A and B are shown apart, each in its own frame.
Chain A
Amino acid sequence: QKEVEQNSGPLSVPEGAIASLNCTYSDRGSQSFFWYRQYSGKSPELIMSIYSNGDKEDGRFTAQLNKASQYVSLLIRDSQPSDSATYLCAVKGDMRFGAGTRLTVKP
C-alpha cells in the first residue's frame, strides 16, 4: 500500500513564529508534491506545488523537497492566527493525501 504520512499533530505555535510541517511518502516514483490548506468546514485549497529537489518560496510559505529521503516539508514564516487550519500533503502518481496536520497559531 503506497502511503503518505504526516506529523500527527496538533501543532501549536505562537504568532510570528515559524511553523514546520512535514510529510514522508513511500512511492519513490512520485514526481509531484502539493500542500493544501483546509479550514474547518471548507474544501482543501492549494498552497504550494513542488516538483524538483530543493526549496520553493512563495510569500511566507516555503516548500522543501528531498526525493532521496522521500520527504517534503512546508515552512510558514511569521505565522498568523489566520494560518490556523489543517495542512494536507498530497503526492501525485498516487493521488493520495496524508491525514493532515492541524496547526493552531496563538495570538
Chain B
Amino acid sequence: DARVTQTPRDKVTEMGQEVTMRCQPILGHNTVFWYRQTMMQGLELLAYFRNRAPLDDSGMPKDRFSAEMPDATLATLKIQPSEPRDSAVYFCASGLDLAYEQYFGPGTRLTVT
C-alpha cells in the first residue's frame, strides 16, 4: 500500500556535522510537509511545499536549516551545522492538496551529541 517513506530512520551525529534527511511522498500527492517533534514543543511545522514549490518555511531556523524538493518523488531537509538542540524526531507528511489530510512517514530520530 502507498506510504510515505523516510530515510534514515535513526541518525546520531556530532555537533557541527551536516545532516540530511530524505522523504519520498506518496505517489500523486502534491503537498509535502516537514515537522519536528519533541516532548517539550510537540509537533512543530517547519516547512511545506505544493507542487515542489516552497510555500512556507517560517518555522525553520533559516541560518542552519534548508528544505528542498529536487523532484516530485524526493524532499530533503538539511541541517548545517547541527546542534544538540536539533535533537528530535523529524516527520515528513504528504497530501493530495492543502485542504486535505496528510499522511505521515515513520520519522527520522535525530540525536546530536
For the A-B complex, the count of residue pairs with Cβ-Cβ distances under 8 Å equals: 41
Question: A72 interface residue, CB < 8 Å from B?
Answer: no
Partner of A31, one of B48, B99, B107: B99
- 8 Å CB interface, B4-53 against A: 33, 35, 42-43, 45, 48
Cβ B104 vs Cβ A32 within 8 A:
no
Determine the main DSSP class of B at the interface with A: strand
Cβ A45 vs Cβ B104 within 8 A:
yes
How far apart are the CA atoms of A46 and B103 in the complex, in Å?
7
Question: B89-101 interface mask toward A, CB cutoff 8 Å, 1 = contact, 0 = none?
Answer: 0010000001111
Cβ A34 vs Cβ B43 within 8 A:
no
A49 to B, closest residue via Cβ: B101
A34 to B, closest residue via Cβ: B101
- 8 Å CB interface, B51-103 against A: 56, 91, 98-103
Question: A15-39 interface mask toward B, CB cutoff 8 Å, 1 = contact, 0 = none?
Answer: 0000000000000000110101000
20 contacts between A and B (CB under 8 A): A32-B99, A32-B101, A34-B101, A43-B105, A44-B43, A44-B91, A46-B103, A49-B101, A88-B43, A90-B102, A92-B100, A95-B48, A95-B56, A95-B98, A96-B45, A97-B42, A97-B43, A98-B42, A100-B42, A100-B43
Residues on B lying within 8 angstroms of A by beta carbon are: 33, 35, 42-43, 45, 48, 56, 91, 98-107
